[in-house]
Amino acid sequence: MRVLGVDPGLTRCGLGVVDGLPGRRLRYVAVGVARSEPELDADQRLLAIERTIEEWLEEHAPDTVAVERVFAQHNVSTVMGTAQVAGIAMVAAARRRIPVAMHTPSEVKAAVTGNGRAGKAQVQAMVARLLQLDELPHPWDAADALALAVCHLWRPAGALGAPQRAPGSMTPAQRAWAAAEQAARRR
C-alpha cells in the first residue's frame, strides 16, 4: 500500500510518500514541501498548494492519502489556513477516488515514537530511523508528512483500510497509538 501523507499548512505543506511492505516493513518513496508566498492573496496561495498536491498525486499514485486532522489553535488565522489546505488535499484525493484518512497529531506521534506528546525533533529522528534515511527530513513539515504516512500504514488490524496483522504483532508504538485513538474517540 502506498500512502501520501499531507501535513497541511498555508506557507509550507509537508508531503511524504511511503510504501507499506509485507512484514510491516516500510519503504521511503519521496518527501517534499508545497510552498506559497505569504504576500499573495489567500486564493492564490491555496491555488499554489493545490497545484503541488495534484502533481504529487499524479506522480506517486498513492492508494490512500493521510491528512493531519486540524485541531484548535490559539491563532485563528493559522488554523483557518491549515484547515483550508487540508480540505484541498481531501478534494484532490476525492477527485481521483483515493480514500482519505485523518489522523490527529497525538495519534501520529504515538505511532512513530510511542509517545503521543513527543517533540518535533523526536518525531523527525524516528521517521529517519524507521525509513532508514541517511539524513533527517527537513523542514518539520516534511518529517510530519512522512510520519502521517507511517501512522496510517501502522494502524491496528481491523481499522478501515489497515493492513491485516496476526494478533499480538503490534509494536509498543502501535499499541500506544491504538490507545490514543480509542481515548480520542471517547471525547
Q: Would you call 58 a catalytic residue per the annotation?
A: no
> Rounded to whole angstroms, how far apart are CA atoms 66 and 7?
9
Annotated binding-site ranges? 7, 68, 141
Provide the grid cell at 22. Answer: 509485507
Annotated binding-site ranges for Mg(2+)? 7, 68, 141
Q: Would you call 7 a catalytic residue per the annotation?
A: yes
Q: Which of 19, 41, 58, 68 is catalytic?
A: 68
The count of residues in the chain is: 187
Strand order in the sheet with 12-21: 25-35, 12-21, 2-7, 64-68, 100-103
Q: Which of 50, 107, 141, 144 is catalytic?
A: 141
Q: Would you call 135 a catalytic residue per the annotation?
A: no
Nearest alpha-carbon partner for 108 in 68, 71, 151? 151
Catalytic positions: 7, 68, 141
